[in-house]
Amino acid sequence: MIAYIFPGQGSQYPGMAKEFAEAYPSARARLQEADDLLNINLSRAMIEGPEEILRQTDYTQPAIFLHSMLALEFDEDREQAQAMAGHSLGEYTALCAAGALEFRDALKLVHLRGQLMAEAGRRKTGTMAAIIGMDADKLSAICEAIESELDTIVRPANFNSPGQIVISGTEQGVHEAMRRAKEGGVRIAKELSVSGAFHSPLMQYAADGLKEALASTEIVTPSVPVFSNVSAEPAEDAEEIRRLLVEQLTAPVRWEQSVKNMYDFGIREFVEFGPGKVLQGLVTRTLSNVKTSGVEKPKAVTA
């Protein structure tokens, strides 16, 4: 059984989707449709850069979504998936690929999500850090102690794979957690270059704005199970999907558990659609006996 997986923020780069635009007139038309719908020059940012524009969250999120959808649409050799999942914004791509969201609705939502997250980051500044080599329970306990002692915010934000966790919160909270993690013998504690404390309570402004937009967006039952970041389980009911997408902004991404639950569901092959190979790496660090592959460019280009 096969699962399609879709990357999140951080996998973007200038030149993404360039080969699809050059190989397929319908891909160029899809890029133009996105430009017209969002009223920004997204396609130029994706294909030409500069990187500073592409790093802006309101460009980053629709860019990755669009690249992933092009990779899926133009992979003529793909086999039918029995499950799907996406990391953070990639969950919207998974829902669109599974037919729960229409393409134009999903594109508008991820663009709005990026705008709201950027604004939330301006309203309540924060940061994130990658902690490599620490047990999840131990790191969670460190975060809880800091919140209690210093009256600040720091939480696990991404449970990516065994021993790879991202924390999120105020600068004070994250820096103190990094210090305590290093004292506890962690191999790597590295602050990330981000515009806000994603997947933490500091994103509540974005969650409130997205809730309003999702309420007026049509969502139907996915054609295959889509594993939610928040619950690590499939969500089928439209209202449940809306609730989980809102909660996702302030709750941790449980990617490691999602991958394990997909394995228990019967998945033995994971195919990543979109820029980069981050999720393939996370899957192989989580499971040893599965196949992973990726579709980033047209087959004719990669052959």
Bridging pattern class, strands 164-169 and 188-191: unpaired
Q: Which two tokens stand for residue 111?
A: 């663009």
- DSSP for 276-294 reads SSHHHHHHHHH-SS-EEEE
**Number of Cα atoms under 13 Å in the Cβ half of residue 196:** 28
Torsion of CA 125, 131, 136, 137, to 10 degrees: -70
* Phi, psi (degrees; rounded to nearest 5) at 153: -120, 125
Q: Which of the residues 11, 43, 88, 195 is marked catalytic?
A: 88
Q: Which of the residues 161, 199, 200, 228 is marked catalytic?
A: 199
Query: Can 67 be counted among the known catalytic residues?
Result: no
Query: Can 293 be counted among the known catalytic residues?
Result: no
**Left (φ > 0), alpha (ψ -120 to 50) or beta: where does 111 sit?**
alpha
What is the set of active-site residues? 88, 199
